[in-house]
Amino acid sequence: MSTSILIVENELDIADIIRRYLEFEGFTATCVISCEDARVACAARLPDVIVLDWRLPGISGDEWVDELRAHPQTADIPIVMMTGGYPTPRLQAHMAAAEIPILIKPFSLDQLVEYIERVSTRQRIIGAD
């Protein structure tokens, strides 16, 4: 079974490029454009990993991270944060505390795959008691 990735990115062209590349690499990928849409997608089927943009309509990616971590069903989903802007010191500290890597756009899609593999492997190791 392939790893399922939920891509939360409001720029559809970027989301589609990421989705196609991840599918080429053997992942199953779904794209949504907001945290509200991501909530619906997670209610339908929890992803193995979330690739999350920081700047989104409605609530920001880092605010949604707090929401995810607050619920037992989603608390352990590995996340990779991405941003097109410079991450603020507050965001950097928040993501470091949550052990969430940040990719700054434009980034290499190979680097994204590496981060996904790293966070999903780390999660499996932590959960393998």
In the chain, where are the structural domains located? 4-127
DSSP string over the chain = -PPEEEEE-S-HHHHHHHHHHHHHTT-EEEEESSHHHHHHHHHH---SEEEEESS-SSS-HHHHHHHHHHSTTTTT--EEEEESSPPPHHHHHHHHHTT--EEESS--HHHHHHHHHHHHHHHHHHH--
> What's residue 123's pLDDT?
52
The pLDDT confidence band at residue 90, using thresholds 50, 70 and 90, is confident
Of 21-25, 42-46, 117-121, 124-128, the range with the lowest mean pLDDT is 124-128
Q: What is the pLDDT of residue 52?
A: 97
**pLDDT tens profile 34-44:** 999 999 999 99
Q: Which pLDDT belongs to residue 85?
A: 83
Query: What is the average per-residue pLDDT within 68-92?
Result: 91
CATH class held by domain 4-127: alpha beta
Residue range 28-33: average pLDDT?
97
